Amino acid sequence: MRRRKSTIFFVVLGVLLIALAVALQVGWILLNLQQIALLVLGIIFFALLITGLVLNTTFLVREIRKNEQQDAFLNSVTHELKTPLASIRLYLQTLKQRDLPKEKQEEFYDIMLADSDRLLGTVEQVLAASKTREKARRIVQTPIDIPELVSECADQIRSRYHLGEDAIRVLDANDELPIEADSEEMKTVFLNLLDNAVKYSGDDPEVSVKFRLRSTGMVEVHVKDKGRGIPSSELKSIFKRFYRVPANGRTDPKGTGLGLFIVRSIVESHGGRILVKSRGLNRGSTFIVRLPVSR
């Protein structure tokens, strides 16, 4: 709220300064109509002044937005770390204080394991995001079987969310798909996309993956869900670091806003592109990963 106020303050300040500069310049021109040389000089300075002011205001607004996103990120990461830790602590205390039957103990151990997986997942995502920002990153590209790799990721997500085979359908590829890539990084890409597809689909996810070989020399992997969808105004922003679509009163699944940023960095470092389509809220989304065919 304080930030929003200061954004408004800077925008109003910028507009007032521009209005003042225009008034000064018009007055000055009227007083010095004959002196053409001075007039030209004045116009140049005027243009410089205005450009400087506009740049200054844009910069300030952008900085404030960035800070806002970083705050939101810190909040969500702290929450993502705190919740499973608090849960593990509670179960440990219970185990220590009470003599529980064997099967209850087993159940508690499973919950604690799931919580520690969640902790590890968050830490790994933060690490992956800072890794993708390293300039001199080395990518080890080897031939990979992309349908098989995606199927492995689908298995992992099904077991993460305790889903049946039908919740994620990986369709057979009709063509040979010669791809060279870093297989660990590609797993990160499809684990993130499938995780999101399930996470933003509510209770009954229906996700499908298909493969296409394009005449343009690109392989496409389409990850399609029938979930909550993405408003068209948000389609560009979702790939930004820390960005999450505003909840607008819904209860939002947890997240850090890093997944799609990591996905895009990895795909682009492989010479590919990531695209997203959605017909709007509650009408599902399709993420398309485009990768170049290896020669």
Q: Which amino acid is at 236?
A: K
**Residue 286: CB minimum distance to ligand ADP, A:** 9
**10 vs 255 by CB, closer to ligand ADP:** 255
Q: From CA 144, how far away is CA 181, in angstroms rounded?
A: 7
Q: What angle do CA 189, 193, 199 make, to 5 degrees?
A: 145
| Burial class of residue 205 in the structure, from the number of CB atoms within 10 Å of its CB (0-12 exposed, 13-18 middle, 19+ buried) | buried
User: Which residue lies nearer to ligand ADP by CB, 57 or 122?
Assistant: 122
User: Least Å distance between CB 74 and ligand ADP?
Assistant: 14
CB of 289 to ligand ADP, least distance (A): 13
Q: Which residues bind ligand ADP (CB under 6 A)?
A: 192, 196-197, 200, 225, 227-230, 238, 243-245, 255-261, 285
Provide CB contacts within 8 A for 198, sequence distance 6+. Answer: 157, 161, 163, 167, 168, 205, 207, 225
CB closest to ligand ADP, residue no: 255
Closest distance between ligand ADP and the C-beta of residue 258, in Å?
6
Are 50 and 17 in contact by the 8 Å Cβ rule? The answer is no
Residue with smaller CB distance to ligand ADP, 4 or 250: 250
Residue (144 or 223) nearer to ligand ADP, CB: 223
Give the C-alpha separation, 278 to 270, whole Å. Answer: 25
